[in-house]
């Protein structure tokens, strides 16, 4: 097992970036792509230095975003870090070929020593779909079928496949095989789509509610649906479902300083600027602008809203904030906020609630203490391997069957 061994936290804390290149409204300057990319690499490395667990990177193929190739970026960060878990926020399951996802993220598993998982999403930027030969009106069927194939590619050494949206496969082996024969952990990310919660539950994967734009009641419904369906499909009890949450903060030691400093960034942000006031937005959503203690109080209360969960990611580098300010935010998270939240989330946490998933914990569960497998190609056939998978395929994950199940839940 190749992952750096460290105590598994009950809840993983980290940051995610959407990779926006935005003008700083206080100076009128806009970073170049090169400057923003280098800044993001610095931010990721500093996340590890201050004691965070996860760095997650979005995928975009349109300006003003730069992160069109998350695996390239995350592989570089893996070489610069030792224990940071590298994830995505999100990987587009609709416009990417599942074969390429299978190969790219298995490779990233190997070069990072197992410090990788990924969050799958449909993507909501309409023009991106035709750029990759897809139709946004087929977003849900694409997500269902493509993940069914990806799931199979990581768990079966030789795959025969025929679906609606890509050419058939016959006797195909994706390479490299997943590290230790165990696929990267998958989160299914959603802001508004109950079918995505259903999909996560069907496979027993994680569900990440990107809890940044809508009121808590909206995400409570999605997470409740996911937990109920997770139990329905026989993966465990509702409280054993694997939940992640997004969040958004800006801090200064004095709350009034945080409010006055962040206001121009909020008012001009491409995503939510020129809409509700910052005060209204912070009341309606988890955006918290204030002191570290205010952030602690707000996010300690997430357990009351959503139950015990496994991952909390914060968005802190958006809307044109300069690198120096983002690094200061990381310092506050690492020194004052996350240590307190770790203790808070551990207090009275039921023993039946699983800890945050890691490669090490997945390998231990797959092999029950035995040595993990190492894939070795057969000399006389390039598309087969000498050993079977540790997984048993007891059901065919047919897209049509899942579609019917998703429909039954109601939107």
CATH number at residue 217: 3.20.20.30
d(C-alpha 204, C-alpha 385), whole Å? 27
Per-residue pLDDT tens over the stretch 215-232: 788 899 999 999 999 999
Question: Does the pLDDT value for residue 244 go beyond 60?
Answer: yes
Look-up of token digits 């694997």:
242
Q: Rounded to whole angstroms, what are the CA distances from 154 to 103, 211, 393?
A: 9, 29, 12
Instruction: Identify the CA nearest to 112 among candidates 88, 90, 130, 133.
Output: 88
Does residue 217 contact residue 211 with C-beta atoms inside 8 Å? no
The Cβ of residue 411 has, within 10 Å, a number of other Cβ atoms equal to 8
Q: Taking 80 as the threshold, does the pLDDT of residue 185 lie above it?
A: yes
- Residue with the larger pLDDT of the pair 391 and 289: 289
The answer, yes or no, to whether residue 408 has pLDDT greater than 50, is: no
**pLDDT score, position 253:** 96
Q: What is the DSSP letter of 321?
A: -
Q: Tell me, what's the pLDDT at 260?
A: 98
| pLDDT score recorded for residue 394 | 29
**pLDDT at residue number 378:** 60
* 290, two tokens: 């204030």
Residue 310 has pLDDT above 50, yes or no: yes
Residue 269: predicted pLDDT: 86
Stretch 41-59: mean pLDDT? 97
Q: What is the pLDDT of residue 388?
A: 43
- Is residue 2 domain-resident? no
Taking only the tens place, the pLDDT of each residue in 363-383 is 999 998 788 878 876 644 444
The tokens of 195 are what? Answer: 């079918």
Task: For residue 323, name the pLDDT band (cuts at 50, 70, 90).
Answer: very high
Q: Against a cut of 0.85, is the pTM above it?
A: yes
Measure Cα distances from 407 to 149, 173, 196, 253, 395 in Å: 21, 33, 11, 48, 20
The predicted-structure confidence for 326-365, as pLDDT tens digits, reads as follows: 999 999 999 999 999 999 999 999 999 999 999 999 999 9
Mean pLDDT score of the chain: 88
Q: The domain containing residue 343 runs over which residues?
A: 12-409
Position with higher pLDDT, 109 vs 90: 109
In which band, very low, low, confident or very high, does the pLDDT at 213 lie, cut at 50, 70 and 90?
confident
Q: Does the pLDDT value for residue 411 go beyond 60? A: no
What pLDDT is stored for residue 384 in this prediction?
52
User: Is 400 within a domain?
Assistant: yes
Q: 103 preceded by cis ω (within 30°)?
A: no
Residue 144's pLDDT band (cuts 50, 70, 90): very high
According to the model, what pLDDT value does residue 161 have?
A: 95
CA Rg value for the chain: 21
Q: Is residue 237 part of a domain?
A: yes
Q: What was the pLDDT predicted at 221?
A: 93
The pLDDT of 298-316, averaged and rounded, is 96
Task: State the Cα–Cα distance between residues 7 and 347, nearest whole angstrom.
Answer: 17
Give the distance from CA 323 to its chain's centroid. Answer: 23
How much is the pLDDT for 1?
46
What b-and-e string marks burial along 257-288, b requiring 16 or more CB atoms within 10 Å of the CB?
Answer: ebbebbbebbebbeebeeeeebeebbeebbbb
Supply the DSSP string of 189-224, one letter for each residue. Answer: EESS-HHHHHHHHHHT-EEEE-TTSS-HHHHHHHHH
State how many domains the chain has.
1
* Assigned domain for 1 exists: no
pLDDT at 215: 79
Q: Of 58, 69, 61, 67, which is closest to residue 36 (Cα–Cα)?
A: 67
- Determine, yes or no, domain membership for 65: yes
pLDDT exceeds 80 at position 184: yes
182 in any annotated domain: yes
Q: Between 390 and 186, where is the model more confident?
A: 186
Q: Which has more pLDDT, 311 or 5?
A: 311
**Strand residues in 228-326 grouped as ranges (E):** 243-245, 249-251, 288-290, 311-315
pLDDT at 3 over 60: no
Q: pLDDT tens digit string along 267-284?
A: 998 777 778 899 999 998
Residue 237 has what pLDDT?
A: 97
pLDDT in tens, 126-143: 678 788 777 878 878 898
Per cent of the chain over pLDDT 90 is 71
């Amino acid at each position: 097992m190749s992952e750096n061994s460290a105590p598994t936290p009950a809840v993983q804390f980290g940051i995610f970036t959407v990779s926006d290149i935005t003008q700083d409204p206080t100076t009128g300057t806009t970073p170049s792509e090169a400057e923003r990319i280098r800044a993001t690499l610095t931010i990721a490395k500093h996340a590890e230095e201050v004691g965070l667990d996860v760095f997650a990177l979005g995928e975009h193929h349109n300006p003003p975003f730069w992160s069109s190739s998350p695996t390239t970026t995350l592989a570089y960060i893996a070489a610069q870090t030792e224990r940071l878990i590298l994830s995505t926020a999100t990987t587009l399951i609709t416009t990417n070929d599942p074969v390429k996802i299978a190969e790219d993220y298995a490779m990233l598993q190997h070069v990072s020593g197992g410090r990788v998982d990924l969050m799958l999403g449909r993507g909501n930027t309409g023009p991106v779909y035709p750029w990759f030969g897809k139709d946004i009106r087929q977003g849900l069927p694409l997500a269902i079928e493509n993940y069914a194939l990806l799931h199979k590619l990581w768990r079966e050494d030789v795959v025969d496949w025929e679906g609606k949206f890509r050419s058939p496969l016959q006797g195909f082996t994706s390479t490299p095989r997943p590290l230790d024969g165990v696929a990267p952990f998958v989160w299914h990310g959603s802001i508004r789509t109950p079918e995505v919660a259903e999909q996560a539950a069907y496979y027993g994967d994680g569900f990440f509610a990107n809890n940044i734009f809508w009121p808590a009641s909206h995400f409570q419904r999605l997470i409740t649906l996911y937990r109920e369906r997770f139990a329905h499909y026989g993966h465990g009890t509702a409280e054993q479902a694997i939940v992640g949450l997004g969040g958004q903060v800006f801090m200064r030691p004095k709350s009034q300083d945080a409010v006055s400093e962040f206001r121009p960034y909020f008012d001009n942000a491409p995503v939510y600027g020129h809409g509700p006031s910052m005060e209204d937005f912070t009341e309606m959503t988890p955006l918290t602008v204030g002191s570290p203690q205010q952030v602690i109080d707000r996010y300690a209360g997430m357990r009351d809203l959503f139950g015990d969960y496994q991952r909390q990611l914060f968005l802190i580098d958006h809307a044109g904030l300069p690198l120096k300010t983002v690094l200061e935010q990381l310092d506050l998270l690492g020194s004052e906020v996350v240590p307190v939240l770790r203790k808070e989330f551990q207090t009275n946490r039921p023993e039946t609630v699983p800890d945050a998933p890691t490669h090490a914990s997945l390998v231990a569960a797959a092999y029950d203490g035995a040595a993990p497998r190492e894939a070795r190609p057969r000399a006389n056939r390039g598309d087969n391997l000498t050993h079977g998978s540790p997984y048993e395929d007891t059901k065919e994950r047919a897209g049509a069957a899942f579609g019917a199940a998703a429909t039954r839940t109601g939107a």
